[in-house]
Amino acid sequence: MAKYYENYVDTKHHPLMEFTNFKRDNYMAIELLDDEWTMGEEEINVQFYRRPLSKLLQPLIDNGFYIENIMEPEPMKKFMEKLPEAYERLLKRSNFLIIKAKKMK
Protein backbone atom coordinates (compact mmCIF):
# COMPACT_ATOMS: atom_id res chain seq x y z
CA MET A 1 0.00 0.00 0.00
CA ALA A 2 1.32 3.44 -0.92
CA LYS A 3 2.05 5.88 1.85
CA TYR A 4 1.79 9.62 1.26
CA TYR A 5 4.42 11.84 2.78
CA GLU A 6 4.31 15.17 0.98
CA ASN A 7 1.31 17.38 0.30
CA TYR A 8 1.20 20.14 -2.29
CA VAL A 9 -1.50 22.79 -2.56
CA ASP A 10 -1.20 25.73 -4.92
CA THR A 11 -3.62 28.52 -5.72
CA LYS A 12 -2.96 30.58 -8.81
CA HIS A 13 -4.58 32.50 -11.61
CA HIS A 14 -6.42 30.21 -13.97
CA PRO A 15 -4.26 29.81 -17.13
CA LEU A 16 -7.22 30.61 -19.38
CA MET A 17 -7.95 33.80 -17.41
CA GLU A 18 -4.35 34.94 -17.78
CA PHE A 19 -4.41 34.18 -21.50
CA THR A 20 -7.65 36.08 -22.18
CA ASN A 21 -7.41 38.96 -19.67
CA PHE A 22 -3.85 39.80 -20.65
CA LYS A 23 -4.70 39.45 -24.36
CA ARG A 24 -1.90 37.02 -25.16
CA ASP A 25 -1.63 35.44 -28.60
CA ASN A 26 0.10 32.14 -27.71
CA TYR A 27 -1.55 30.05 -24.99
CA MET A 28 1.41 27.61 -24.94
CA ALA A 29 4.04 30.29 -24.17
CA ILE A 30 5.68 30.74 -20.79
CA GLU A 31 6.09 34.45 -20.18
CA LEU A 32 6.60 36.99 -17.44
CA LEU A 33 3.59 39.30 -16.97
CA ASP A 34 3.07 42.50 -15.00
CA ASP A 35 -0.15 43.30 -13.19
CA GLU A 36 -1.31 46.03 -10.82
CA TRP A 37 -3.22 45.23 -7.67
CA THR A 38 -5.02 47.80 -5.54
CA MET A 39 -4.42 47.30 -1.83
CA GLY A 40 -6.48 49.93 -0.04
CA GLU A 41 -5.33 53.15 -1.67
CA GLU A 42 -1.97 51.76 -2.79
CA GLU A 43 -1.21 50.38 -6.26
CA ILE A 44 1.20 47.43 -6.19
CA ASN A 45 3.02 46.12 -9.24
CA VAL A 46 3.02 42.31 -9.28
CA GLN A 47 5.00 40.10 -11.67
CA PHE A 48 4.25 36.45 -12.34
CA TYR A 49 4.85 33.79 -14.95
CA ARG A 50 1.99 32.73 -17.19
CA ARG A 51 2.05 29.18 -18.50
CA PRO A 52 -0.42 26.65 -19.92
CA LEU A 53 -2.11 24.09 -17.68
CA SER A 54 0.09 21.24 -18.91
CA LYS A 55 3.21 23.13 -17.83
CA LEU A 56 1.72 23.65 -14.37
CA LEU A 57 0.86 19.97 -13.87
CA GLN A 58 3.61 18.06 -15.67
CA PRO A 59 6.46 19.07 -13.30
CA LEU A 60 4.42 17.69 -10.39
CA ILE A 61 3.82 14.41 -12.19
CA ASP A 62 7.48 14.19 -13.27
CA ASN A 63 8.53 14.53 -9.63
CA GLY A 64 6.32 11.73 -8.31
CA PHE A 65 3.23 13.68 -7.31
CA TYR A 66 -0.27 12.33 -7.81
CA ILE A 67 -2.85 14.98 -8.75
CA GLU A 68 -5.53 14.52 -6.12
CA ASN A 69 -7.85 17.37 -7.06
CA ILE A 70 -8.14 20.37 -9.36
CA MET A 71 -10.67 23.02 -8.38
CA GLU A 72 -11.98 26.05 -10.25
CA PRO A 73 -13.72 27.89 -7.42
CA GLU A 74 -16.92 29.84 -7.94
CA PRO A 75 -17.62 33.07 -6.06
CA MET A 76 -19.50 32.93 -2.78
CA LYS A 77 -23.06 34.27 -2.63
CA LYS A 78 -21.92 37.09 -0.29
CA PHE A 79 -19.76 38.38 -3.13
CA MET A 80 -22.89 38.95 -5.24
CA GLU A 81 -24.14 41.57 -2.77
CA LYS A 82 -20.96 43.65 -3.01
CA LEU A 83 -20.01 43.26 -6.69
CA PRO A 84 -22.90 41.75 -8.67
CA GLU A 85 -21.32 42.26 -12.11
CA ALA A 86 -18.05 40.61 -11.08
CA TYR A 87 -20.03 37.81 -9.42
CA GLU A 88 -21.89 37.05 -12.67
CA ARG A 89 -18.66 37.13 -14.67
CA LEU A 90 -16.87 34.78 -12.26
CA LEU A 91 -19.77 32.31 -12.36
CA LYS A 92 -19.09 31.90 -16.08
CA ARG A 93 -15.29 32.07 -16.12
CA SER A 94 -13.19 31.13 -13.12
CA ASN A 95 -10.23 33.37 -12.36
CA PHE A 96 -8.50 30.90 -10.07
CA LEU A 97 -7.21 27.36 -10.09
CA ILE A 98 -6.43 25.27 -7.03
CA ILE A 99 -4.19 22.21 -7.44
CA LYS A 100 -3.92 19.61 -4.70
CA ALA A 101 -1.34 16.85 -5.09
CA LYS A 102 0.39 14.22 -2.95
CA LYS A 103 3.75 12.55 -3.35
CA MET A 104 3.85 8.81 -2.78
CA LYS A 105 6.62 7.20 -0.77
φ, ψ dihedrals at 63, nearest 5°: -105, 20
Burial 22-50 (b: 16+ CB within 10 A, else e): eeeeeeeeeeeeeeeeeeeeeeeeeeeeb
Burial 60-70 (b: 16+ CB within 10 A, else e): beeeebeeeee
pTM for this model (two decimals): 0.79
Tally: H helices and E strands in the chain: 4, 5
Q: Give residue limits of the domains in the chain.
A: 4-22+53-104
Digitized pLDDT (tens) for each residue of the chain, 105 residues in all: 556 568 999 999 999 999 999 999 999 999 999 999 888 899 999 999 999 999 999 999 999 999 999 999 999 999 899 889 989 988 898 899 999 999 977
